[in-house]
Structure 1
Amino acid sequence: MHAMQYEITLPADYDMGIIRRRVETKGHLLDDFPGLGAKAYLMRERGVDGSPVNQYAPFYLWNGAAGMNAFLWGAGFQGIVADFGRPVVQHWTGIAYDEGGAATARGRTAVRQRTPIEAGADLPKLTAEAVEGTDQLAQEQGVLFAASAIDPRTWELLTFSLWEHDTPKAPGDRYEVLHLAQPERASLPRGRQW
């Protein structure tokens, strides 16, 4: 599993209705994209839920690198580049994924937490704790799914969860979910990723 996200930060006075309309008209285009486990079309509005910015920040879980590469080098991502410029694409190697009790619900809120990993950290212990934490997070009431991943280039731990309600019990940046494409979510391997 690979996690991926790009963030497009927009001006403070940007009409976020433009992003909503974009997702309404184009979100369905990835509803059957090969290799895509899930794509959460995420948005933050300045001043809402503590967000300091207006931002469009889609989050992806890929079953493998082939689907991710097909998207990045294909027409889908080129639409983002044409409209907003080429953003930095962050990606992490998956370490855990679990479905929650609300797996079939409509996602309303997502939470992303990014934690730097100290140079002296015990990686086997840290990853074991992250796997356990992902399982515990998935068991919270209202969770569709939870995932954790690591960027070994910057040594950062990512924790991501998708919720059916607006009051998630997880720390991190909160996003509104505009659409969830999940063509191969059932194929995402559960539990530890190695």
Structure 2
Amino acid sequence: MHAMQYEITLPADYDTGVIRDRVARVGHLLDDWEGLGLKAYLLRERGVDGSPVGQYAPFYLWDTPEGMNSFLWGPGFQGLVNDFGRPVVQHWTGLAYEDGGDPDATPEVAVRRRASIPEGVPLAEVAREALRETQRLAALDGVVGAAAAVDPRHWEVVHFSLWAHDQPEATGETYRVLHLSAPGRDRLRRGRHW
């Protein structure tokens, strides 16, 4: 599994209706994308859920690198580049994925928490703790799914969870889910990925 996200920070006075309309118009195009576990079309609005910025920030879990690459080098991502410029694409290697107790529910919000891995911490323990946190999140009421992944270039762990209600019991940046494409969620390997 590969996790991926790009963040497009919007001007303070940006009409987020433009993003909502865009997702309504094109979100379904990835509903059957080969190699995609899931894509959550995410929006943060300045002043909502404690967000200091407005951002369009889709989050992906890929079940194959070919699916991810065909998206990045294809017309879908190029369309985003044409409209917003080329964003930095963050990429993490999967550590764990678990369905929540409500896997078929439509998610309302997502929470992403990034944490630096300090120098000197045993890396095997970092991976085990990421698995435990993924399992803990997945067991909470209203969770659709939870994942953990690591960026070994910057030594960072990311925790990501989807929630079927707007009161998540997780800390981190909170996003509104505008659409969920999940053609291969059933192919995402459950449990640890090492």
With normalisation by structure 2, the TM-score equals 0.99
- What is the identity, as a one-letter code, of the residue corresponding to 2:118? E
Matched, 1:12 2:12: yes
CA drift at 1:133: 1.1
CA drift at 1:58: 0.2
Query: Structure 1, residues 95-118: CA drift from partner, whole Å, max 9, x if none?
Result: 000000110000000000000001
Query: Structure 1, residues 119-172: CA drift from partner, whole Å, max 9, x if none?
Result: 111100111111011011100000000000000000000000000000000000
Matched, 1:36 2:36: yes
Matched, 1:73 2:73: yes
Query: Structure 1, residues 153-193: CA drift from partner, whole Å, max 9, x if none?
Result: 00000000000000000000000000000001000000001
- What is the identity, as a one-letter code, of the residue corresponding to 2:189? P
Counterparts of 2:123 and 2:112, CA distance in 1:
21
Counterparts of 1:140 and 1:97, CA distance in 2:
14
In structure 2, the residue matched to 1:54 is: 54
CA drift at 1:64: 1.7
SS at match of 2:41: strand
Within a 5 Å distance, the mapping from 1:106-185 to structure 2 comes to 106-185=106-185
Counterparts of 2:114 and 2:129, CA distance in 1:
15
5+ residue gaps, structure 2, are: none
- What is the identity, as a one-letter code, of the residue corresponding to 1:35? G
CA drift at 1:80: 0.6
Counterparts of 2:127 and 2:191, CA distance in 1:
12
Counterparts of 2:118 and 2:54, CA distance in 1:
30
- Which 4+ runs in 1 deviate beyond 3 A? none
Counterparts of 2:126 and 2:85, CA distance in 1:
36
Q: Aligned-residue CA RMSD in angstroms? A: 0.4
**% identical equivalent positions:** 63
In structure 1, the residue matched to 2:21 is: 21
5+ residue gaps, structure 1, are: none
Counterparts of 1:47 and 1:136, CA distance in 2:
29
- What is the identity, as a one-letter code, of the residue corresponding to 2:132? E
Counterparts of 1:25 and 1:92, CA distance in 2:
28
